[in-house]
Structure formats: C-alpha cells, structure tokens
Amino acid sequence: MLSYKEHKALKDRFETQLRVAMNKTDFMTGWLPKSATPGASAEHFAPSNIALCKYWGKRDTELNLPVNGSLSVSLDHLGSRTRVEPIDGETDSVWLNGTQQRPDSRFAKRVSAFIDLFRIYHPEQAFRVTTENNIPTAAGLASSASGFAALTKAMNDAFKLELSDTELSVMARMGSGSACRSLFDGFVEWQMGVREDGMDSYALPLEQCWPGLCVGLIHVDENEKSVDSRAGMQRTKETAHLYQSWPMQAAADLSKLQQAIAERDFALLGSVAEQNALSMHATMIASWPPLLYWQPDSVAAMQKIWKLRAEGLALYFTMDAGPNLKLLFEDASRGAVEAQFPGLEVVQPFGI
Ligand code: DP6
C-alpha cells in the first residue's frame, strides 16, 4: 500500500509528465514509480459499451485524443475478463477466448504495445494475458473497449500502481479510445479535453440511471471488418469534406443526450442517438475510398425499425463501424420488439 505522500508524489510525476510529453513512451517515462514491481498476477472485468454519441476522429493519433466528446452506456455483465501473469521468457503470450494468438497478429501486437507502456522500467518482463469475452460472438460487438479497460485495471494491480479511476481512464484511452468509457457502469461521458497532453481527456460516469432502458443486439454479420474503426475514422477525417460538420453535430448531440437523460425523455434519447450514428456513417460513406459498413440486412433492419416506429413503436437504433444494429427501446416495449426480432439479445444496463 502506498502512503499518502508516495501516492501524491506519483500523481505529481504523472501530471508533470503529461504536461511535457506528447509521445506515448515519453508520456509514461517518469510516471511509473521506479519501485514498481511486476510481481503479481491480477484479473479484472470491464463491460462493453455502446456509444449514443460517437467518438469519431482523433486530434492526436498517438495519444488517442478525440475531436469530439462522446457518451455511452455500458452493457452491464457483457464484456471482457482479463488476467495478466508475469512469465519467464522474452515475448508475451496472448490468449483470446481460449486460443493463443500469434505474436504477429494484430490483436497480440496491440496488447503487447499497450503493456510496453507499463513496463518501461522492466522492459524484459513478459506477461501471459488471457482475455475471455462473454459478448455473444453473434452480436458482432467490438470488444476492444472492454478488453483494454480490463487489461488496464489488471496491469494497475500487477504493478501495484494504485491509479485513480481518472488515471485508469487516461491509460485505457491510450490502448483504445472507447476503452476509457468501459472503466465505468451506466451512462458514461468521455470529455474530449483540450490539452495537448490529454490530461483532461478521460471518461466520467453520469449520476443518472434509467431503469427499464433496453439495448438489443441484432446480428447481421460477425466477420472481421476489413477496415477497423481506427483506420476508418482516420480515412474519414482525412478525405471526407462532410467530416467538417461532424464536431459541431457531435457537440450538439452530446448536450441533447444529457438533456434526454436528465429528463428521461426516451424519444429524444433514441432520435438523437440514431441521427448521430447515421451522421457518422454519412461521413464514412463520403470518404475516399468510400467506407460502407452496411450489409443489405443492415438496411432491411433500418427500414423495419422506421416502419415499426411509424406504426407507433418507440424503437430506435444505433450502430458502430460495422453492419450490426443495436436497438434502443424501453422495457414496456420489450415484448413487442422481441416479437419482431426473434432471438434478440437484450441487455438492461440499469435493471428493470
Ligand atoms: C465507431 O475506440 O475502436 O465504435 O481509439 O483507434 O482504438 P481507437 O478506436 P475505437 O473506436 C470506436 C469508434 C466507434 C464509436 C464509439 O465507440 O464511440
């Protein structure tokens, strides 16, 4: 256990470092206490999250600093459980859902690069990292957010760093931007921040909850995308003229969502989330080469939702950089929605 003085010294080092460093490794050097020992094994869970106002575009690709703030809801028990164990040897051993990943795979490389941030004083220390996702594969949900959030918490314990939730959120952001929101349950806002060092770019949980809010996961296609979110948002920012309007729209949507949550106004929440997602996709389609993540079944599901809504069902959707839709509705409509979408995986992040 660090004393208050030691913890304060660690925090001061962290803040000073953030003020001067822009490069990931520089950023970490001097932050970790020299005495940090990678002695322990550790295991943590973090939930997956669905953004209602999307993070799309970075102002700094090294530190994953966003162009806009975003707001998500965490998916309760659906997420990733990650265990880290110090091991002998030269390379990390990375396992995902029971299968060892090739060291040159995209997943293993991202995990090892992230662990590098923690082992600046112990460059030779390798880890075995075991991640289990309980998100149904069929839901086609990205798990990098929950995976990096769980890994951040596990590394914090393994090195006995005792970072605060805010510091953990800053760290998780360096692994994957959306991971900074998966540190928390319920509604979570990622404040974009304005500082070059990213010290003010982290997520915070909102106080409000919304019993009865439902998220339904529709499966359209579970194949790995040829262009992932990271590459997709970069291409969009660099090539789509339409992207110029995105930061303003996202800022307006974020405040409307805050209002919808404060007033528990479902029509406002659903309509803003759906329009935000479609606007993000419009910028993707307008990029070059064009990025269209939709499959014919995605469009069919959208049209079905619009028809049901016109008939009076309070049902909206959002979607990320992929073909799968996430339905938004309230518990009172659950029976009607499930009848229309048999086999729907439903999560109630705040219970009934
Ligand atoms: C469309 O967090 O996966 O899901 O920071 O490059 O790792 P990196 O990107 P990532 O992007 C997520 C984009 C999104 C929207 C969102 O979750 O806010």
Q: Find the CATH number of the domain harbouring 229.
A: 3.30.70.890
Q: Whose CA is nearest to atom 7 of ligand 1?
A: 176
Q: Is 320 in the pocket of ligand 1 (CB under 6 A)?
A: yes
Q: Are residues 89 and 145 in the same domain?
A: yes
User: Nearest-CA neighbor of 64 among 293, 189, 186, 233?
Assistant: 233
Low-confidence ranges of the chain (pLDDT < 70): 1-23, 25-39, 136-140, 142, 224
pLDDT given for residue 120 in this prediction: 79
Does residue 80 form part of some domain? yes
Beta carbon of 235 within 6 Å of any ligand 1 atom: no
**pLDDT of res. 20:** 47
Q: Look at ligand 1, atom 6, and give the residue with the nearest C-alpha.
A: 230
Ligand 1: atom nearest CA of 280 is 1
Same-domain status, 147 and 62: yes
Q: For residue 330, how far is the Cα from the chain centroid?
A: 23
Domain residues for 246?
213-347
Looking at 205, 228, 261, the residue that finishes a domain is 205
Tell me which residue has its CA closest to atom 1 in ligand 1: 320
Distance CA 191, CA 230 (A): 19
* Same domain for 263 and 186: no
Read off the tokens for 224: 């790995």
The answer to whether the CB of 230 is under 6 A from ligand 1 is yes
Q: Select from 52, 178, 320 the residue to mutate for testing ligand 1; criterion: most ligand atoms less than 8 Å from CB.
A: 178
Three-state DSSP class for 197?
coil
Give 168 Cα–ligand 1 centroid separation in angstroms.
Answer: 17
In a domain, 83, yes or no: yes
CATH of the domain at 118: 3.30.230.10
Cβ–ligand 1 distance for 64 under 6 Å, the answer: yes
221 and 174 within one domain: no
Q: Does the pTM exceed 0.75?
A: yes
The Cβ of residue 61 has, within 10 Å, a number of other Cβ atoms equal to 11
68 touches ligand 1 (CB under 6 Å): no
Q: Do residues 280 and 146 both lie within one domain?
A: no
Q: Is residue 16 part of a domain?
A: no
The whole-angstrom separation of Cα 250 and Cα 254 is 6
Same domain, 228 and 318: yes
**Residue 27 located in a structural domain:** no
Establish if 4 belongs to a structural domain.
Answer: no
Q: State the total domains in the chain.
A: 2
